[in-house]
Amino acid sequence: MVNMVALTLHPQEVEVFYILPAIRRELTLAFKELGRSQKDIAKLLGVTEAAVSQYMSQKRATDVTFPDIMKAQIRAAAPKITDHSSMIQEVQTVLAAAKQDKFICKLHEQVADNIPKGCDVCFK
């Protein structure tokens, strides 16, 4: 895990800098398994084809390893994604689960300074 900057990141920044790219990586792999083209995957995710290539070759978004249950949830979401709206909806569902399971909290503790172990400020 790479610590971006020695400062306190907000949980939302952890989502943007770490979680969302990792979700895109997992979706890319799932889309590829479903037989979607690199061009189609890029369009659905709103990224370049080069970014898709980097996700597939594990050169991008490698700082986060999701638990198997989250990987399964992301893979289950992939067939439901047909356009930008459904992509946003499915990603929001995955993010909600990551918050509920406190995966974001655990990652936050790892990548940011001054976050106390067991912090639950987002749940108060």
Q: CA-CA distance, 85 to 108, in Å (whole number)? A: 28
Q: Which residue has the tokens 């995710």?
A: 45
What is the Cα 22 distance to its own chain's centre?
4
Pick left, alpha or beta for residue 58 (phi over 0 → left; psi -120 to 50 → alpha; otherwise beta): left
Q: Do 111 and 4 meet the contact criterion of CB atoms below 8 Å apart? A: yes
- In this prediction, residue 37 has a pLDDT band, given cuts at 50, 70 and 90, of very high
Reported confidence tier of residue 5, pLDDT bands at 50, 70, 90? very low
Helix axes 84-100, 103-111, angle to 10 degrees: 80
Q: What is the pLDDT of residues 13-34, one digit of tens each?
A: 889 999 999 999 999 999 999 9
Domain boundaries, the chain: 11-115
